[in-house]
Amino acid sequence: MTAHAPTATGMTPIHRLQVASNLHQFIESKVLPGTGVTSVEFWKGFDAIVADLAPKNTALLAERDRLQTEMDAWHKANPGPITAGDSSSPADMKAYQKFLTSIGYLVPAPKKVKATTDNVDAELAKQAGPQLVVPILNARYALNAANARWGSLYDALYGTDVISEADGAGKALPGKGGYNPKRGAKVIEYARYVLDRTAPLASGSHVDSVGYSVRAGKLAVKLKNGKSVGLADAKQFIGYQGNMTKPTSVLLQHNGLHLDIQINPATPIGKTDPAGVCDLVLEAALSTILDLEDSVAVVDADDKVLAYSNWLGILQGTLTESVTKDGKTFTRGLNADRIYTSATSKKPVVLHGRSLMFLRNVGHLMTNPAITYTAADGTTKDIPEGILDAVVTTTIAMHDLKRKGKPGIKNSRKGSVYIVKPKMHGPAEVAFAAELFGRVEKMLGLKDATVKLGIMDEERRTSANLMACIAAASSRVAFINTGFLDRTGDEMHTAMQAGPMIRKGDMKSSTWIAAYEKNNVQVGLACGLRGKAQIGKGMWAMPDLMAAMMTQKIGHPLAGANTAWVPSPTGATLHALHYHQVKVSKVQKGMEKVVKKLEAKKLRNDTLNALLQIPVTTTPHWSAAEKAQELDNNAQGILGYVVRWIDQGVGCSKVPDIHNIGLMEDRATLRISSQHMANWLLHGVVTREEVKETFERMAAVVDGQNAGDKLYQPMAGHFETSMAYKAATDLVFKGLEQPSGYTEPLLHAWRLKVKAAQA
């Protein structure tokens, strides 16, 4: 059956699908040409996938509901924390695990799991470094992230609090503005010591360098005492740009990451440097997740077409954005590859100029009206959004796959497509994702396991069954990553009836979180992910507090994670220094030796007791001031994020908290805050009147924080008419009934109402 003309409702019928006409036109005119897939093949295959897999998707969601109902009943009958070693208690850990096993929440640990993923690019399999996550709707953010593979350390240091402003080293000259040479000197000194740590000289220090040159294929560094020395390890010198006697760039390598010493005495910085060095550029964001999920507000076909268009533009190398900076407007596109003269070969050294791109699809929960389908019972339903994403984004990725061996901008050199699949609950849902992508590959004529999966370990059932989850996609897994905020939101909802949760700020020191972070790395190594995939850690959410990040985030590579999330290109450049301080492959090898001695069952039991500890308290005796503080913090964060999501369609932004510290907020942070308030309401820690009063008071605070935004619509005094305010309060007052505590159903419904009102 071929497509009909668009109907009056703006939908194009084809087979059992009704496709929004703008989405249909985009696929026909932009996506399919150049893929080798015909329109007939595409729509026939798409229709069959929806008919076969949409019912399975629905069944998986019904299973989530069944399990939650069982756990709600159990926790009502056995309230309070789960005790360990007290068999007389009905809430004993053994009894709890037996119950979870009996309902199918816990499944047996596979005896042996070995990831067989192949054709994984080095950025994921071999190198260790930072990972960015950015909303795909924002073309400028996407381009900045893609280009953040390389970052200026000078700029990152000068513009952040990593360098102190003490002793006249402010970011601008007092009373004058402009570049501050005192601060610049501190930046240069810091960078030289980075070189001393990462690529030390045979003798002396880079601090004393007055010139860099190449002699007989080796780096020669002239010092201010007149001596010329080489590197302690000559193999660290990879190549250069310019000529040998006066190179414009010197390329070094350490711990699998590159450092580029930029030399140009004609620049304002270079002319003051004895060696003419004007910058130290670091290989930074090795990979980037372009996000279709937590950080975007995508609710209909218009939003989907914009998101898919940006993904297509990134992979075709055609995405550009007009940017105005310092009064000048220019066009930003994707960076080209970096080419150097090799130190040891006649062939040039060609380094990827951009991050390796993942795309995070939507999870299994949501549907989208961009496509409707006729179900077996004759009813019309919105398409499961995860199925829509899987088909369209993989088809778009064929534009990259078709470029194999051809010159130009390319994402994967190994012929793979990288899709992060979030919010999956347990191995059956991971298996469903693998089945879905298998069907898409078959439809498009792609080799099995071309699509590699990033499995987000951010739901409690996935954490508790992580080895079985990896086994369910063993030929596809290219990354596992923890997500503290979503994981905490799910923790709260799963055990909502167990009692009042501890304060939100205390969650990070709770028993389960340490076990969760440890388990993710241990299981990943036990399943053979070292050298095949990323084992990642979560986001640093405070983009203005880089000094604190430099102190704390080194814990991620030390824990054996070969990537961790950062909120900006600047954060990526700075976090890259941690991977020069810690050789993650060495850490992983040491951990692997210990893990391999444990059988799968023992490995799981090693952390399962702690992993299943529930963060409830039997003594919720907080003072009135403490409870008010908790409510204020939660309500202000919810309102500050939701008002932009609902009114402006902004899914991720730097939202000032109650202390006016900018925090990167997305739906994961919203989930934990709303579920925490719903939990305290349920158990009588606070009253509905107290929550309502807090929201109304915090609405005025958020209005004030957004006073400079011309598009902002105030909430205070408009409580009955502000859809954003109503959405925010719904998240708490209706939080108990939300599936798994997710915020998406309410947010999408309210955003669609706003868009309808604006039409």
In whole angstroms, give the CA distance from residue 542 to residue 527: 33
In whole angstroms, give the CA distance from residue 453 to residue 447: 15
CA-CA-CA-CA torsion sign (593, 562, 396, 667): positive
- Pick from 360, 402, 368: nearest CA to 385: 368
- Give the list of residues 6+ apart from residue 688 with CB closer than 8 angstroms, or none: 681, 733
Counting Cβ atoms within 10 Å, is residue 11 exposed (0-12), middle (13-18) or buried (19+)? buried
- Give the list of residues 6+ apart from residue 747 with CB closer than 8 angstroms, or none: 297, 642, 645, 646, 667, 727, 731
Q: Say if CB 491 and CB 618 are below 8 A apart.
A: no
Q: Which two tokens stand for residue 521?
A: 């790395």
- Distances 759 to 431, 584, 749 between C-alpha atoms, Å: 41, 52, 16
In whole angstroms, give the CA distance from residue 649 to residue 755: 9
- Pick from 572, 480, 562, 462: nearest CA to 132: 572
In whole angstroms, give the CA distance from residue 673 to residue 505: 11
Beginning with the edge strand found earlier in the chain, give each strand of the sheet holding 218-223 in spatial order. 209-215, 218-223, 228-229
- Distances 413 to 13, 33, 130, 133, 256 between C-alpha atoms, Å: 38, 22, 20, 21, 18
- Classified as helix, coil or strand, 688 is helix
Q: Which two tokens stand for residue 164?
A: 């102190």
In whole angstroms, give the CA distance from residue 196 to residue 553: 22
CA-CA-CA-CA torsion sign (105, 486, 722, 736): positive
- Give the list of residues 6+ apart from residue 407 with CB closer than 8 angstroms, or none: none
Q: Which two tokens stand for residue 371?
A: 């496509």
- Distances 25 to 19, 258, 266, 299, 301 between C-alpha atoms, Å: 9, 43, 51, 19, 11
Q: Say if CB 687 and CB 624 are below 8 A apart.
A: no
- Pick from 452, 135, 413: nearest CA to 289: 135
In whole angstroms, give the CA distance from residue 470 to residue 458: 14
In whole angstroms, give the CA distance from residue 731 to residue 738: 8
Catalytic residues: 360, 666
Counting Cβ atoms within 10 Å, is residue 229 exposed (0-12), middle (13-18) or buried (19+)? middle
In whole angstroms, give the CA distance from residue 256 to residue 261: 16
Beta strands in 572-681 (DSSP E): 653-656, 662-665
- Classified as helix, coil or strand, 313 is helix
Amino acid at 587: V
